[in-house]
């Protein structure tokens, strides 16, 4: 009973949050800069409403098909959102754009191989074959998403790239949600149906938390940039020459 109420509260809270995100994206004209994230938000609002209808009027099996079908579309859109955030960060750095995108694609390929390798380890507990396959597939998708988010954050901090306020918020929420879901899917695959209760609660919980982060970043104002009048004297070119000489040896 309590878990039903919690699940319902999470569902309503997430839907309300996403409607808020939708309005904020429209009001701040951010749908032009992040069209895929905007589509992702619209899709999730429609998905929640459609699933509510299907749950009320159709059989549990039909609901299950609709739910996992929507999850598949959401996963594809999720990859597109990660790529969009990465392109948005690199857009302002023409000099390293090509290098960044090349590294991103290679990371994606390597992560696909890792996901395929881990998909070979089946669910040992007594879950139905279909559920077991879905959990393994979900785990593989989250491995790729977590890896891409990790790469995005590491690449950004290594090169000291400055993020647009909202892009950082989107990446942050997405990264947290993908990481928690990966850990949950791995625990569920290992321990079997005994953890279903926890999985069913924490999975939407992590997503609700991500939507909270997105709205918080979209509401809060971006920090003021540093005010500088002139370019300070620097020896960047000479340093580059000296270090390149060292690297060539």
Partner 1 sequence: MMTATIFIIAFGCLSLAAIYFAIRGQCASIETLEQLEGNTKPVDLAAFQNLIDPREQEFLRLNLSKECYRRIQQDRVLISIEYLRCAAHNAALLIRVGEALRDSPEPAIRESAMQLVNSAMWLRLFALAAIVKLRFNIFFPGLSLTTLSARYNQVAESVCLLSRLKDPVSTSHILSSL
Residue ranges in contact with partner 1 by CB under 8 A: 92-96, 118, 121-122, 124, 139, 142-143, 146-147, 149-150, 153-154, 156-163, 168, 171-172, 175-176, 178-180, 182-183, 185-187, 189-190, 223-228, 230-232, 234-240, 242-249
The residue (of 22 and 79) whose beta carbon lies closer to partner 1 is 79
Cβ atoms of residues 72 and 47 within 8 Å:
no
Any idea how long the chain is? 249
Question: CA 219 to CA 208: how far, in whole Å?
Answer: 17
Burial class for 41, CB neighbours closer than 10 Å (0-12, 13-18, 19+): buried
Cβ atoms of residues 171 and 210 within 8 Å:
no
The residue (of 47 and 142) whose beta carbon lies closer to partner 1 is 142
Q: How far is the CB of 118 from partner 1 (least distance, A)?
A: 6
Q: Residue 235 in 3-state DSSP?
A: coil
Question: Taking Cα atoms as reference points, which of 149, 177, 147 lies closest to residue 163?
Answer: 149
The residue (of 17 and 206) whose beta carbon lies closer to partner 1 is 206
Q: Residue 249 in 3-state DSSP?
A: coil
Cβ atoms of residues 30 and 38 within 8 Å:
yes
Q: How far is the CB of 157 from partner 1 (least distance, A)?
A: 5
For 12-41, give the DSSP string.
HHHHHHHHHHHHHHHHTTHHHH-HHHHHHH
Q: How far is the CB of 73 from partner 1 (least distance, A)?
A: 23
Question: CA 211 to CA 174: how far, in whole Å?
Answer: 9
Tokens matching residue 108: 């994606």
Q: How far is the CB of 155 from partner 1 (least distance, A)?
A: 10
The residue (of 32 and 245) whose beta carbon lies closer to partner 1 is 245
The residue (of 16 and 99) whose beta carbon lies closer to partner 1 is 99
The residue (of 24 and 178) whose beta carbon lies closer to partner 1 is 178
Q: How far is the CB of 50 from partner 1 (least distance, A)?
A: 30
Q: How far is the CB of 49 from partner 1 (least distance, A)?
A: 30
Q: How far is the CB of 160 from partner 1 (least distance, A)?
A: 4
Cβ atoms of residues 167 and 222 within 8 Å:
no
Tokens matching residue 87: 């392109």
The residue (of 1 and 231) whose beta carbon lies closer to partner 1 is 231
Cβ atoms of residues 217 and 169 within 8 Å:
yes
């Amino acid at each position: 009973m309590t878990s039903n109420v919690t699940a319902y509260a999470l569902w309503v809270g997430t839907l309300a949050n996403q409607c808020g995100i939708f309005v904020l994206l429209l009001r701040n004209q951010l749908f032009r800069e992040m069209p895929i994230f905007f589509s992702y938000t619209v899709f999730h609002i429609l998905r929640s409403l459609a699933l509510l209808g299907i749950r009320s009027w159709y059989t549990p099996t039909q609901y299950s098909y609709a739910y996992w079908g929507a999850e598949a579309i959401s996963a594809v859109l999720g990859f597109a959102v990660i790529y969009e955030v990465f392109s948005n960060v690199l857009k302002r750095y023409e000099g390293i754009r090509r290098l960044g995108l090349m590294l991103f694609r290679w990371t994606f390929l390597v992560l696909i191989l890792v996901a395929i390798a881990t998909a070979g380890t089946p669910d040992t507990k007594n879950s139905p074959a279909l559920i077991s396959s879905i959990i393994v597939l979900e785990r593989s998708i989250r491995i790729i998403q977590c890896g891409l988010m990790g790469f995005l954050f590491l690449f950004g901090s290594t090169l000291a790239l400055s993020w647009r306020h909202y892009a950082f918020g989107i990446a942050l929420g997405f990264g947290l949600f993908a990481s928690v879901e990966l850990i949950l899917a791995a625990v569920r695959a290992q321990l079997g149906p005994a953890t279903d209760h926890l999985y069913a609660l924490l999975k939407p919980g992590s997503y609700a938390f991500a939507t909270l982060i997105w709205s918080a970043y979209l509401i809060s104002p971006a920090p003021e940039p540093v005010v500088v009048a002139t370019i300070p004297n620097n020896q960047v070119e000479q340093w580059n020459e000296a270090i390149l000489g060292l690297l060539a040896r």
